[in-house]
Structure 1
């Protein structure tokens, strides 16, 4: 079987896939090297080490999230945008668990700023909220509410934290409806 050519991009793509399979916390250079059929030392031509790989996967995951969330809300506003955003968020968090964990991995601020990926995710969030006519500081508070709510539900779902005999989809719809009402009536809160 011919070896895949090692490039930083190929390594990061394979590492992101591997993180989804085994968990971001279990991602190692050895596991990645094994996937390519090479020795660990071969990776050091393209990566500075595990921390570098983790940061690259985190930035890749943030970029993928920005693209997916942006596409979800494109041409939509208000409730339709919120529903599409929330459903995409949940799908990514539960369907791509390694990448999701990577989005929460600390990346040095200068590297994060240079990539622009985190800024793109934030911009998508603010674009969503423009449909609710929120300005600062309310917009920042609303972004925090959205993130904590969607993260909490998705994380509990992914880890089996919901055990009640009730449809998760039904509960999810109620969560999204509640968020919509909160955002619509923000100024009254």
Structure 2
């Protein structure tokens, strides 16, 4: 059932996660909505399952892309992995942007999000950042990449110029910012 929901989320593009409903999952699975309650207690529970699976998958992708890399090379690899994930799985990418709450029901999502942060912290450690600077650097990277992805997938870049070149310039700017932060 979670796999059906994940397919629906990606089929819905960047808005797929926001548009996820129990009725849509039941329809895709060929069952009645009440049958879903054997697997999930609510739409919030279903959304939590999709978000948790999506964050776990993004973390695996990030870890694979950055293992054995350091400094600017690691930052580029992480950024490229996030962007590629968003292009392949726009709905899942949107699901990764859900911040877990302190609700005990979000415990698995919190654990998966912590794993993502651990990978991103590893990417930034090569710059010799303090703990506070590490948080700032991770937020800088996530914000820049997410902003670019959001505009790119939403059709917000109307100029005919090469998007990959602009993206590379953005990541170079992030790296310069992290290096300045570390100085």
Per the normalisation by structure 1, the TM-score is 0.89
Q: 1:157 aligns with which of 147, 152, 155?
A: 152
The equivalent of 1:147 in structure 2 is: 142
Name the stretch that deviates more: 108-117 or 26-35: 108-117
- Checking the alignment, whether the CA contact within 8 Å between 1:93 and 1:155 is kept in structure 2 is no
Instruction: Tell me which of 4, 8, 12 is aligned to 1:18.
Output: 8
Question: 2:37 aligned with 1:44, yes or no?
Answer: yes
* Aligned-partner Cα distance in 2 for 1:108–1:138: 24
Matching of residue 131 in structure 1 with residue 126 in structure 2: yes
Runs of 5+ unmatched residues, structure 2: none
* Alpha-carbon separation, structure 1, partners of 2:46 and 2:107: 17
Give 1 or 2 for the bigger CA radius of gyration: 1
**Structure 1 equivalent of residue 68 of structure 2:** 75
SS in structure 1 at match of 2:18 = helix
Alignment size in residue pairs: 178
CA–CA separation in structure 2 for the residues paired with 1:67 and 1:94: 16
Alpha-carbon RMSD across the aligned residues, in angstroms, is 1.4
The answer on whether the counterparts of 1:82 and 1:128 sit within 8 Å (CA) in structure 2 is: yes
Cα separation, 2, equivalents of 1:153 and 1:94: 12
Aligned partner of 2:94 in structure 1 is 101
Give distance in 2, aligned partners of 1:85 and 1:114: 23
1:111 Cα deviation from its structure 2 partner: 3.4
- Offset of residue 24 of structure 1: 1.0
